Structure 1
Amino acid sequence: MEWLIIGGMLLAAYLIGAVPTAVWVGKSYYGIDVRQHGSGNAGATNTFRVLGKKPGAIVMAVDIFKGWAATSLAGLLVYFEAIPEEQLIMYKLLFGTIAVIGHIFPVYVGFKGGKGVATLMGMVLAVYLQVALVCLGIFIVVLLLTKYVSLSSMLAAISFPLLLLLPVFRQDEPLLMVFGILIAVMVVLTHRKNITRLLQGVESKISFGKKS
């Protein structure tokens, strides 16, 4: 019975993460598939770039919520006594990872999604709220100063494991540090092309305005 509950929750986490917010918002309200414009990614960054500030903010908020909601499903496993409470962090990380995979490979729109940074942020909010808020603050400050979403995302991701080294945030949970290092590496690897463009000085900036 426990494995049936866990399997159902895993499927739910994927289906939540796979909701293609950018594609549905673009097609429903603007008649545009954002995957055919800009960077070709179905995420908040490309929505900002292609459709403008308001739809971009909506997509980012929903994608963050997806990650938070899918990760938080792990709490139901404790409620239904499918897992012991000491395993909660492990299952939160598992469910959140499944949601991010769902965002990158969404079943609803041919498995062509985004990079999963906003969904990952939602996952981190559900796993460790305090550190996630600091990372979010770093993201916002860097974004306002540079207008580079890619740079903001990478610095925020790299900050997570570094913050865990500080006494105020340190936890007696090795999985958190492993997770932090993995997400930092993953975000950097998925932004390899952005790094090249940043070094060449040709990376696109976000204007926070409407598409011209």
Structure 2
Amino acid sequence: MIAAYLLGSIPFALIIGKLVKGIDIREHGSRNMGATNALRVLGIKWGIIVFALDMLKAGLIIGLFRFNIIPYSEYDLVHPLVYGVCAILGHLFPVFAKFHGGKGVACTAGIILVYQPLLFFISLCLFIIIVAITKFVSLGSLISAFACLIFAVILPNQKKLGSPMFTSGRFDLWLIGFLCTVTIIIVISHRHNIKRLLSKTESKITDREKLL
């Protein structure tokens, strides 16, 4: 779990900001080390790269179990998704960046992509639609997080849908528990965004930012 936390702590937004523009991204834009702030400060290309790397560092952990690089049995006391939560916490509170990190969306997306691809693509489509219509990345992230949890509950037998570490029964309780946990984390990490959305002062992704 410590290794998962340390992997999640790798501050790709900070590293790329210093390599590309010689800046500390924590001193620019929203001062957040997530992909959205990287997009605003560094441009769309580097924002996408930061998002992909943040997905990778968390998804890699689940991938090690999925492809049996690290053996996993349903009788193990610690489920792979627990390591995923540790990686997300590392991203939120990175030891390598004075415990000031991102908001956990990209890491969560990486974990879901590897663990249950169908849920990932449903949530991704919903996220794209919401952001395209409203221009609010935060709103897209929040709604997608809740939608992912809802679909995890209402979809038919997830074993048939390809959940690689599914054990038995109609529901993957580990997945649902994980999604409940990360949804709470995402809501808390977006608490200031929620206040700005309610007061109609939240920043939008503008056409200019899309072209940077």
What TM-score bracket applies, with the shorter chain setting the length? 0.7 to 0.9
- Shift in CA distance, 87/131, structure 1 to aligned 2, threshold 3 Å: farther
Aligned partners of 2:63 and 2:114 also within 8 Å: yes
Aligned partners of 1:20 and 1:103 also within 8 Å: yes
Aligned partners of 1:48 and 1:57 also within 8 Å: yes
Q: Counterpart of 2:201?
A: 202
Gaps of 5+ in 1: 1-9
Aligned partners of 1:74 and 1:88 also within 8 Å: no
- Shift in CA distance, 87/133, structure 1 to aligned 2, threshold 3 Å: farther
CA distance in 2, matches of 1:145, 1:89: 44
* One-letter amino acid of the structure 1 residue matched with residue 180 of structure 2: I
- Shift in CA distance, 72/198, structure 1 to aligned 2, threshold 3 Å: same
CA distance in 1, matches of 2:34, 2:151: 26
CA distance in 2, matches of 1:196, 1:145: 20
Q: Counterpart of 1:144?
A: 132
Aligned partners of 1:90 and 1:175 also within 8 Å: no
Aligned partners of 2:149 and 2:176 also within 8 Å: yes
Mapped pair 1:182 → 2:181: yes
What is the TM-score normalised by the length of structure 2?
0.85
Gaps of 5+ in 2: 159-169
**Displaced runs of 4+ in structure 1, greater than 4 A?**
78-81, 87-90
* One-letter amino acid of the structure 2 residue matched with residue 65 of structure 1: L
CA distance in 2, matches of 1:164, 1:75: 19
The structure that is helix-richer by fraction is: 1
* One-letter amino acid of the structure 2 residue matched with residue 151 of structure 1: L
Aligned partners of 1:131 and 1:169 also within 8 Å: no
**CA-atom RMSD, angstroms?**
2.1
Q: Counterpart of 1:4?
A: none
Shift of 1:79: 5.2
Q: Percent identity?
A: 38
1:131 to 96, 99, 119: 119
Shift of 1:198: 0.8
> C-alpha offsets along residues 53-100 of structure 1, whole Å, 9 cap, x if unaligned?
111111111111111102223347x5565x42x257952211111111
1:73 to 35, 53, 64: 64
CA distance in 2, matches of 1:120, 1:89: 22
- Shift in CA distance, 122/87, structure 1 to aligned 2, threshold 3 Å: farther
* One-letter amino acid of the structure 2 residue matched with residue 128 of structure 1: Q
* One-letter amino acid of the structure 1 residue matched with residue 3 of structure 2: A
CA distance in 2, matches of 1:88, 1:155: 33
> When the two structures are aligned, how many residues end up with a matched partner?
198
Shift of 1:16: 2.0
- Shift in CA distance, 201/13, structure 1 to aligned 2, threshold 3 Å: same
